[in-house]
Chain A
Amino acid sequence: MEILLVLGCPLLGAALLAIVGAKRHAAEVSVAVSLATLLAAAALVTRVIRHGPMTAWDEEFFIDPFNVFLVALTALVGFTTAVFSRPYMRIEANQGRLTPGRLRLYHSMYQLFMAAMLLALTTNNMGFMWVAMEMATLSTVLLVSLYRTRASIEAAWKYFILCGVGIALALFGTALLYTAAEDLLGGEGMGALLWTHLDAVKGQLEPRVMGMAFVFLLVGYGTKVGLAPLHNWLPDAHAEGPTPVSAVLSGLLLNVALYAVIRCKILTDGALHSHLPGHMLMGFGLLSTVLASFFLWRQRDIKRLFAYSSIEHMGIITFAFGMGGPIANFAALLHMTMHSLTKSAIFFAAGHATQLSGTQRMDKIRGLLAIHPSVGWGLMLGGLAILGMPPFGVFTSEYLILTTAMRDHPWATPILLIALAVAFGAIFSRLQPMVYGDTDAQPLPHSPALVPVFIHLGIVLMMGLYIPPALAEWYRLAARLIGG
C-alpha cells in the first residue's frame, strides 16, 4: 500500500503538471506532490522498521533495509529540490531564459524522473529495474536541453547516446542473468528475474554466465554512475542543464544506478565464490577517483567543477563497495547519503551564485559574501563539507573507508590519499576567491531559497558529530545484506 503511494504520488503529479504546469502556481503544486511523496516514503520507512523486509504485488516489489534508506533519501532530496526550484526557476523565467511551455515540461518531467527512480529502487524484477533506469534517462534528456542553447543540446545528445548505449549493455547483461537463472527457476513465469528468487539460489547459478552478465551490467549501469572511462556525459549534462536538474542527477540518479550495480554484485558474489566482482568495482572506483581529481584542476565552470567532484566521490563509494565487508559497506552507504545531501546543497548555492553573477565561469564569480552572505556561506560550508573537513559527515565516511583500505588493501591507500589531496587543492583554491573579494553584482529580484541548503548541511553536520543509533543500526543491517 505504502509502495503504491510512493510511486503513485510522483506519477500522478507528472500527469497533473503536464496539464497545469504552465500556470502560475505550478511550482507550488510540484512542491506539494513532492511533499506527499516524502510523507508516503516516511510511512514506508516506519512500516519496514516495525515489520521488517516486505514484498508486495506477487513479489514484484520488494523492500529491505538497503533500498528503503535510498527511497527515503530520494524522496527527501526530491522534496528539497522542488522547494529550491520554486524561486530558482522563477528567477530564470524572469531573466527570459525559459518560457511557460518549457516550465511545464520541466515540472512534469521532474516528477516523472522521481517516479522512475523510485520504481528502480523498489522493484524486485531485474527487467523492470532496467526499464525504470531507461525511463529515468529519457525523462531527464529533455531537461538537460531545457535552455535550447547549442551547448545544452550538445550535452543532452551526448547524455542520450552514451547512456542509451550503456543501458543497452545492461539489457544484454539482464538477458544473460535470465539465461543463468532460467533452468533453476523456470522460464515461463516471471520468477527467474525476481531478485529475491535469484538471491535464494545464487549459489547454484552458473558462474561463467554470471561473470559475463556482471561485466555487462557493471559497464552498463556504471555508465550512469559516471564511472571512468564512461563518465564523459556527466560533466556536460550537469553544467548545461538547469541547476535543480544538476542537483538531482548528482545527488540521486548516480546513487540509484550504483544501487543497481550493487544488487547485481550481491548475486554475482554468491555465484562466483570469488572476489572478482569486488576487484572490478575497486578498479573502476580508483580509476574514476584519480582521473576526476586531476580533471578538477582544469575546470573553469563552477557546475563542471562540482560534476567532476561527483565522479570522484562515486569512485570512492564504488571502491568501498568493492572492498566489501561490514565496515566498508557501512562507510559506503554513509558516504552515499552524505554525498547526496552535500552535493545537492552545493548545487543549490552554486545555482544562486550563478544567477547573482550572470555567469558560470568561476573567474567571474566574486565576492559572494559581500553581496549575499547566505549564498556565500552555503557555498563555502558545502565546499568544506564535500572536501571531507571534520566535523562534517563526509569526513566520518571517508575516514572509515581509508582505514579499512589501510587494513585490507594497503596499496590503495596512498592512491586514494593523493587523489583526495589533489581534489582538496583544486576545489579549495577556486572556492576562496569566489566567496571573498569585492563585487559589483546586483542582488536577486526574488529572495533565494536557501533553507534546503542549510537543512542538508545541518543533517551532514549532525551525522558527522552523532549518528542516531536507530540510523546506525539500519546502515549496519543494509551493510550486512550487501556482504562481500
Chain B
Amino acid sequence: MAPLSFATQVVQVLAGALLLISFAMLAERRSRRLLILLVWQGVVLVTSTVLVATSAHLTHLYYSAALTLLLKVCLLPWILFRLMRKLGIERDNEPLVNVPTLMLVGLGLVIFAFGLAQPVTALATTVLRHTLGIALAVILLSFLMILARRKAFTQVIGFLSLENGLFFAATSTTYGMPMVVELGMALDLLVAVFIFGIFFFHIREQFDSLDLDQLESLKED
C-alpha cells in the first residue's frame, strides 16, 4: 500500500473526530450543547471536504463544501438557535437513562458499520474509501439517537447529524453526488428544518412541552 499523503492523513483524523462527536452527541443532555456539537460536526465535514478537493483536484467539491458551510454551519444552526431561544428550551435538561448501555450499543453499531462497509471499501477508488465505515457508523449512531431520545428538539439534531453522515458517506465513496442533485438535497433539508420549526410550535401549543413521551395516544388498541 502506497504511503498516504499528508492531506489524506488529516482527513482520516477528521473522520475520527466526526465519530467522536457522534458519541458525544449520544451522551449529551443539554439542547444548547447538542447544537454546538452539531455545528462542530459541520465544521469538520467542511474541512475534510476542502482537503479532499485540494488533494484530488476536484472543483465541484469546493462548491459542495461551500454549500455545506453555508447551510450546515451557518444557516441551519442559526435557525435552530433562534427557535431554541423563542421556545425557551436553551437550558433544558433531558434525563438520560443508561448512558453506559447506550455507549455499548453504539460501539456494537460501529463494528457492524465497518463490517458492512468492507465490500464497498475494497472496490471504491477514492482516497477516502477507508472512511466509509466511519460514515456508516455516524449514520447508525444518529439513528440510535433518534430512537433513544424523547425530545422533539433532540430528534431533529439526530436527523441533521444523520444528514451529515450521509454527506460524508457520499464524499468518501464517490467524491460527492452530482452538483444539481446536491442542490436539490440542500433545498429539501432546508425546507425540512423549516417544517420542524413549525412543528415545535404546534407540539408545544397542544402539549405544553416538547416531550415526546406525551405523544403516546396513537397506540394500537
Question: Which residue in B159, B174, B198, B202 is a CB contact (below 8 Å) of A161?
Answer: B159
Q: Counting CB contacts under 8 A, is B153 at the interface? A: no
Q: Counting CB contacts under 8 A, is B178 at the interface? A: yes
Residues of chain B contacted by A178 (CB below 8 angstroms)? 170, 173-174, 177
Q: Is the CB of B169 within 8 A of A190?
A: no
Q: Is the CB of A165 within 8 A of B184?
A: no
Q: Counting CB contacts under 8 A, is A158 at the interface? A: yes
CB distance from B56 to the nearest CB of A (A): 11
Residues of chain A contacted by B207 (CB below 8 angstroms)? 150, 153
Residues of chain A contacted by B178 (CB below 8 angstroms)? 127, 189-190, 192-193
Residues of chain B contacted by A135 (CB below 8 angstroms)? 188, 191
Q: Is the CB of B120 within 8 A of A212?
A: yes
A 164-178 binary contact with B (CB < 8 Å = 1; else 0): 110010011011101
Asked, given contacts A150-B207, A153-B206, A179-B173, whether A188 binds B60 with beta carbons under 8 Å apart, the answer is yes
Expressed in whole angstroms, the Cα–Cα distance for A379 and B200 within the complex equals: 38
Q: Counting CB contacts under 8 A, is A370 at the interface? A: no
Q: Is the CB of A142 within 8 A of B198?
A: yes
Interface secondary structure of A, over-half rule: helix
Q: Is the CB of B120 within 8 A of A179?
A: yes
Residues of chain A contacted by B191 (CB below 8 angstroms)? 135, 138
Q: Counting CB contacts under 8 A, is B137 at the interface? A: no
Q: Is the CB of B139 within 8 A of A172?
A: yes
Q: Counting CB contacts under 8 A, is B104 at the interface? A: no
Q: How large is the interface on A (under 10, 10 to 19, 20 to 34, 35 or more residues)?
A: 35 or more
Residues of chain A contacted by B120 (CB below 8 angstroms)? 176, 179, 208-209, 212
Q: Is the CB of A157 within 8 A of B199?
A: yes
Expressed in whole angstroms, the Cα–Cα distance for A157 and B199 within the complex equals: 8
Q: Counting CB contacts under 8 A, is A330 at the interface? A: no
Expressed in whole angstroms, the Cα–Cα distance for A157 and B212 within the complex equals: 10
Residues of chain B contacted by A164 (CB below 8 angstroms)? 159, 192
Q: Counting CB contacts under 8 A, is A412 at the interface? A: no
* Chain A residue nearest to B155 in the complex (CB): A161
Asked, given contacts A150-B207, A164-B192, whether A298 binds B166 with beta carbons under 8 Å apart, the answer is no
Q: Is the CB of B206 within 8 A of A149?
A: yes
Scan residues 163-177 of chain B and give those whose CB is less than 8 A from a CB of chain A: 163, 166, 169-170, 173-175, 177
Expressed in whole angstroms, the Cα–Cα distance for A127 and B116 within the complex equals: 23
5 closest pairs, A vs B, by CB?
A: A127-B181, A131-B184, A154-B215, A175-B170, A208-B119
| Chain B positions near chain A (C-beta within 8 angstroms) | 60, 116, 119-120, 123-125, 139, 143, 146, 152, 155, 159, 162-163, 166, 169-170, 173-175, 177-178, 180-181, 184-185, 187-188, 191-192, 195-196, 198-199, 202-203, 205-207, 212, 215, 217-218, 220-221
19 A–B pairs (Cβ distance < 8 Å), ordered by A: A128-B180, A131-B188, A135-B188, A135-B191, A145-B202, A150-B217, A156-B199, A157-B199, A160-B195, A165-B143, A175-B169, A175-B170, A176-B173, A178-B173, A179-B173, A179-B174, A190-B178, A208-B123, A212-B120
14 new A-B pairs (CB below 8 Å) besides A154-B218, A175-B173, A193-B178?
A: A127-B178, A131-B188, A135-B188, A141-B195, A142-B195, A151-B217, A153-B215, A158-B218, A160-B195, A164-B192, A175-B166, A175-B170, A179-B173, A193-B181
